[in-house]
């Protein structure tokens, strides 16, 4: 019987925080299955972050060692392009922090990956909003893929649903709960916590940054709305074009009064076609408890799509962890390999 040789892919990670580490752990757990079902193996040839710098290991970083902070055998280079050239990746995974205003430096990371000839896979939504047309065009020119399933709803198949399963459908609008931090803050305040204590809780469980303003002021959600409008509705949009309101002015007294009236504050993300225009909004709304969005709890997310064929199609993700984000990166990689 002939021996089947497994294809080995060099993988490089830009960003090695919680998402990057969880992705490496998932890759390691799935290694045997990737070999058996997909006839592939991987070698992590590059890891980069603000703390670590640009690290390369041509023979491959060992997942268990780097997860323990052991980068022995690594070579350090001084720039993105030197790192790409030295690590020679087949796919680059972008998991750095969001820049809602420009999408940089993530766009440059992905651009450089594609120019080298690697697939560009992003959990960062900034490049989807600020670089979608450029990166998609470049990917086609290089016969590579630019994918970003983890950028909006962890690993739930939002973009893939429309790309793979809903041909010819017209998306007329959507409405959802897409920011975990504000959802948890409002929920904790309804339970009697102060705003400050609720924010602190979100930071402790890892859903809020040390500076939570992108969440509290609605920027994170606005970027998600803009990404969905750009990709799924064919309407390029920047975050500052989304009507935006934060939760900083909502008081404990308002939340208590709403609870007494059988209502609940939620930060609702929405977009709706209005002739040639697209109205997009992120803002706290007072919802009746009969509204499905009012029942989205904790770090869960829900998005409901209105289309010309299906009146309402919803995806509900219940309390996802970082594994869900990592899984989105993995599925994007497998699709990119399969389609190339």
Task: Report the catalytic residues.
Answer: 224
The annotation status of 238 as a binding-site residue, yes or no, is no
The annotation status of 73 as a binding-site residue, yes or no, is no
Residue 283: strand pairing partners = 268
The annotation status of 18 as a binding-site residue, yes or no, is yes
Please give the angle made by the CA atoms of 295, 296 and 300, to the nearest 5 degrees: 160
The annotation status of 218 as a binding-site residue, yes or no, is no
Please give the angle made by the CA atoms of 152, 157 and 162, to the nearest 5 degrees: 100
Residues 287 and 291: their CA atoms lie apart, in Å, by 6
Structure tokens that stand for 278 in this block: 């697209």
CA-CA-CA-CA dihedral for 332, 336, 338, 340, to nearest 10: 170
User: Cα dist. 319→145, 156, 297 in Å?
Assistant: 29, 12, 8
The annotation status of 179 as a binding-site residue, yes or no, is no
The annotation status of 145 as a binding-site residue, yes or no, is no
Residues 320 and 153: their CA atoms lie apart, in Å, by 9
Cβ neighbours of residue 55 closer than 8 Å, sequence gap 6 or more: 46, 47, 48, 61, 71, 74, 75, 76, 83
The annotation status of 19 as a binding-site residue, yes or no, is yes
The annotation status of 10 as a binding-site residue, yes or no, is no
The binding site for NADPH comprises: 125
The binding site for NADP(+) comprises: 15-20
């Amino acid at each position: 019987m002939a021996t089947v040789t497994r294809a080995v892919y060099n993988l490089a990670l830009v960003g090695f925080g919680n998402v990057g580490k969880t992705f490496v752990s998932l890759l390691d757990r799935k290694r045997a299955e990737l070999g058996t079902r997909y006839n592939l193996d991987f070698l992590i040839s590059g890891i980069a972050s603000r703390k670590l710098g640009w690290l390369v290991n041509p023979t491959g970083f060992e997942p268990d060692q780097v997860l323990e902070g052991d980068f022995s055998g690594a070579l350090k280079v001084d720039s993105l392009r030197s790192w790409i050239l030295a690590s020679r990746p087949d796919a680059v995974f972008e998991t750095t922090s969001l820049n809602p205003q420009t999408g940089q430096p993530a766009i440059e990371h992905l651009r450089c990956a594609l120019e080298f000839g690697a697939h560009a896979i992003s959990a960062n939504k900034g490049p989807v909003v600020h670089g979608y047309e450029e990166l998609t065009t470049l990917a086609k020119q290089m016969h590579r893929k630019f994918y970003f399933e983890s950028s909006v709803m962890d690993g739930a198949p939002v973009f893939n649903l429309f790309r793979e399963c809903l041909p010819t459908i017209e998306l007329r609008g959507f409405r959802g709960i897409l920011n975990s931090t504000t959802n948890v803050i409002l929920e904790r305040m309804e339970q009697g916590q102060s705003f400050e204590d609720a924010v602190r809780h979100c930071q402790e469980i890892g859903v809020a940054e040390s500076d939570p303003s992108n969440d509290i002021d609605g920027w994170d959600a606005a970027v998600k709305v803009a990404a969905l409008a750009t990709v799924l509705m064919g309407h390029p949009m920047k975050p500052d074009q989304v009507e935006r309101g934060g939760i900083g002015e909502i008081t404990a007294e308002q939340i208590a009064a709403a609870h007494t009236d059988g209502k609940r504050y939620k930060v609702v993300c929405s977009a709706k076609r209005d002739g040639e225009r697209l109205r997009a909004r992120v803002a706290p709304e007072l919802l009746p408890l009969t509204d499905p969005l009012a029942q989205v709890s904790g770090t869960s997310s829900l998005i409901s799509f209105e289309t010309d064929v299906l009146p309402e199609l919803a995806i509900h993700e219940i309390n996802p962890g970082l594994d869900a984000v990592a899984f989105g990166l993995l599925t994007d990689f497998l699709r990119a390999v399969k389609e190339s």
